[in-house]
Structure 1
Amino acid sequence: MQGHFYKPHCKCPGKKKKKCSCGAKWAFIIDVGINPMTGKRKQKKKGGFDTKGDAEAAAAIMLAELQQGTFVEEPNTLFKDFADSWYKYYESTGTVKPGTVRMRKFTIKNLLPYLQYLKMKDINLATYQNALNELHAKGLSHSTLVGIQNTGKMIFKWAMEKSVIKSDPTLYSYIPRTRETVEQLEQKNEEINYLEKEELALFLEASKTKGLERDYVIFMMLAYTGMRVGELCALKWKDIDFEQHRISITKTIYSHNKSVKEYELLTPKTKSSTRIIEIDEDLIKVLEDHRARQNEVRMRHRNVYHDKDFVIAKMKSNYGYPEYIGTIEYRTKRLIKLTNLNPNITPHKFRHTHVSLLAELDIGLQEIMDRLGHEDDTITKNVYWHVTKPKKKEASTKFADMLRSL
């Protein structure tokens, strides 16, 4: 076999090196080509083998890769450095939504304690899988682990493309799951949080009589349309067809550094999120009244008004800028406390409330999903089945009664 095999760190004196007794490791050195700049041969060394046979086997693999053109000279890049380079590249593409970019940064932070000071070439399946196992043992949710796994796969795929590693350690990795016992499954009763119709009426009345400015129109819109809060904050007057009683959902909003003035309008969450929502005369009237008050504010502060056509625009300061999602969250908590309703209700729960009320009206699940802009959503389905459960039981009873009457 081509190559030179030796023990570079042998400490045995003189001729005893032929019969090494100091426990030094074997190494090899082979030619890997010609340096195009100097014309001199390039050599590759590798050590740390327990036996000469191990060194010969590794050298044979390297020679075969050289002959097949698949040899990759893996650099000594640390995971933390490569992950940082990948993140900057990922962020710079400009094709990823800011929220997704933030999520990738969070998932990298989760992997760092287990991989940061390891060389990329030394991370194998066992090492990577152990990181996932440890994160699962810490109690991270399955969805969080999915995000971490997806980010890890993207990083190591890029490493393969850049010839930083020869094999992908994430290829056969998996996300651990905790198997629930029969007792846990039987006792499991996931709480579904939404407002019953009487509770919603109480909340909306409080928003009208005890709410802050714009509270009534904000929560009427959330309750009557089921739109996401980000979609509401991004909504413009041109998106509302007052004659046809329709609202077009075409965008959502992202606020940089939680600043009202640093916002960005983005495409909706998913393809199905772009939709048209039919609305009724009551909501149209509320919107017309709100637009009239907004026009007064616009004229009064026309020299500083941020006139970008936003429906839920600020009217006390930063005139005309779209409302910040965090403000709506705060206002929800305030009204929930005033009405002594379920403290777990958030602005997003108005989507679940919308689902429950439509289900009570015998609107089909698919029609509800289309209205909410969902391709698939477990919570929406759970709310629907929860509300329609009594009707399903009633159907079963009627069916049995029919057969008995034959």
Structure 2
Amino acid sequence: MWTEPTKTGKVKFVEQFKNPLTLKYTRVSITMDKETNTTRKLAQQTLNKRIEEKLRHLADGQIKEGVTFGELIEEFDQYYKRTVKPSTFASWKVFKACVLKNFNSDVLVSKITNKYLTNTLEAMIYQRGYNNAYVGAIKSKINQIMRYAYRHDYIAAPIGQLEINWKRNNSAKSIEDKYLDDEEVKQVLEAVRSVNPMYADVLLWQYLTGMRIGEVLALQAKKIFQEDGKWFVKIDCTLEYSKRQKSEFTISSTPKTQSSNRTILLPDEAVRIYRLYSLGKQPDDLLFSIQTKTGVFIHPLSIDNRLKIVQEILELDKPLSTHIFRHTHASKLAELGVPIELISKRLGHKDSAITRQIYLHVTKKTAERYSGLINSLDV
């Protein structure tokens, strides 16, 4: 390391390292107020760390040793923030806190095995009281983080399928709690409609299309169109509302994820709702909106709060939220025999463990029902 003077009278500490891809030297530097033993030592430590970080990101195909799981999480955090919507990143921050609480941050990434990850996830279930659904969501994030680690040469091979020994005592019920049956849909919608008809139609739209609540509340009239006698909705944006005042809500120019960008067929009942709410509106107007002092957007939490009240009134065991209508749409498609790949595409999912669980559970129940009908055949 050496020093160079600056025009302002401060001191620039400089170090260099060889790029393993180009074999050329690259400079890194840091400026301090003056040169003392303390600032020189601090500068050397800072520059060494910068060089270490830069070398990590050079794709030379060599496994980068010495990276801890905690460092990987922080690096993934910055990457994830740049690549997802603010609402998605806000959800990740909650998961991140849980991951850091339950996984050892000092473990070297290059030493992480399937067994270590599986044991830690199962400990969350059986020793720390987390439910299957939440640990399943953490497992999904761990898979995502380890894929990032593999792409950046922190591990030599992708992490394989994590076979978790889930709690079995109420697994079927926990899956059924994620969607509503026909009678429950009817009861909930009637209860909501008696207080707020527009909220009921928003939820009915979710039930008919499987759209996310942010996608529904950002839906403009012009996004519904007719082609060859059929009606479609183009989904290419979402409502940004997480941790914001209603007056600060915005419509993003892109959907939640790349796979969320889609165009889906509308059933007749959805077309009826569209015709009702598009009357007198301009193409850019929101399909579902309420004019208030803070703007025209409907707050998703207002609908969720109404659903919580309805849940208490109807004495339902299932936790009600807007998202349950999206899951219910998936369950109805599974019941109709629609392949899981097409359901995921319609929902705008690249992959979803919950959708797959619902699909397998519903198709199994349907098969059992048909089996009973076949057994009743007689002459």
Common topology (TM > 0.5)? yes
Cα drift, residue 130 of structure 1: 4.9
Equivalent position amino acid for 1:279 in 2: P
Runs of 5+ in structure 2 lacking a partner?
1-24, 27-59
Q: Over residues 218-268 of structure 1, what are the superposed CA-to-partner deviations in whole Å (9 max), with x where a residue is unaligned?
A: 123123333332221221101123785433333333324243324342325
1:96 and 2:75 matched:
no
RMSD (CA atoms): 4.5
Q: CA separation in 2, counterparts of 1:375 and 1:149?
A: 14
Aligned to 1:189: 172
Q: Over residues 329-353 of structure 1, what are the superposed CA-to-partner deviations in whole Å (9 max), with x where a residue is unaligned?
A: 2222223333444442332222343
Q: CA separation in 2, counterparts of 1:352 and 1:256?
A: 21
Aligned to 1:337: 312
TM-score after normalising by structure 1: 0.57
Aligned to 1:247: 233
- 1:275 alignment partner, SS class: strand
Taking only the aligned residue pairs, the percentage that are identical comes to: 20
Q: CA separation in 1, counterparts of 2:72 and 2:329?
A: 46
Cα drift, residue 388 of structure 1: 5.3
Q: Which has the higher contact order (CA 8 A, sep 6+)?
A: 2
Aligned to 1:347: 322
Is the CA contact 1:231–1:249 (under 8 Å) kept in the aligned structure 2? yes
Matches within 5 A, 1:13-162: 80=70, 83-84=73-74, 87-92=77-82, 95-102=83-90, 105-106=93-94, 108-109=96-97, 110-111=99-100, 116=105, 125=111, 130=116, 133-139=119-125, 141-152=135-146, 154-155=148-149, 158=152, 160=153
- Residues 388 and 90 (structure 1 numbering): CA distance in 2 closer, same or farther, change over 3 Å? closer
- 1:214 alignment partner, SS class: helix
Aligned to 1:215: 199
Number of equivalenced pairs: 302
Q: Over residues 360-383 of structure 1, what are the superposed CA-to-partner deviations in whole Å (9 max), with x where a residue is unaligned?
A: 7xx332397265456763113423
Aligned to 1:386: 365
Cα drift, residue 172 of structure 1: 7.4
- Residues 240 and 126 (structure 1 numbering): CA distance in 2 closer, same or farther, change over 3 Å? closer
Q: CA separation in 1, counterparts of 2:104 and 2:87?
A: 24
Instruction: Pick one of 164, 181, 189 that aligns with 1:204.
Output: 189
Instruction: Pick one of 255, 267, 274 that aligns with 2:255.
Output: 267
Equivalent position amino acid for 1:332 in 2: L
Q: Over residues 294-324 of structure 1, what are the superposed CA-to-partner deviations in whole Å (9 max), with x where a residue is unaligned?
A: 86xx9xxxxxxxx952212233342323x23
Equivalent position amino acid for 2:216 in 1: L
Q: CA separation in 2, counterparts of 1:100 and 1:212?
A: 28
Q: Over residues 108-140 of structure 1, what are the superposed CA-to-partner deviations in whole Å (9 max), with x where a residue is unaligned?
A: 54247765567xxx6651699757644541336
Cα drift, residue 147 of structure 1: 1.4
Is the CA contact 1:128–1:170 (under 8 Å) kept in the aligned structure 2? no
TM-score after normalising by structure 2: 0.60
Q: CA separation in 2, counterparts of 1:114 and 1:375?
A: 27
Is the CA contact 1:356–1:383 (under 8 Å) kept in the aligned structure 2? yes
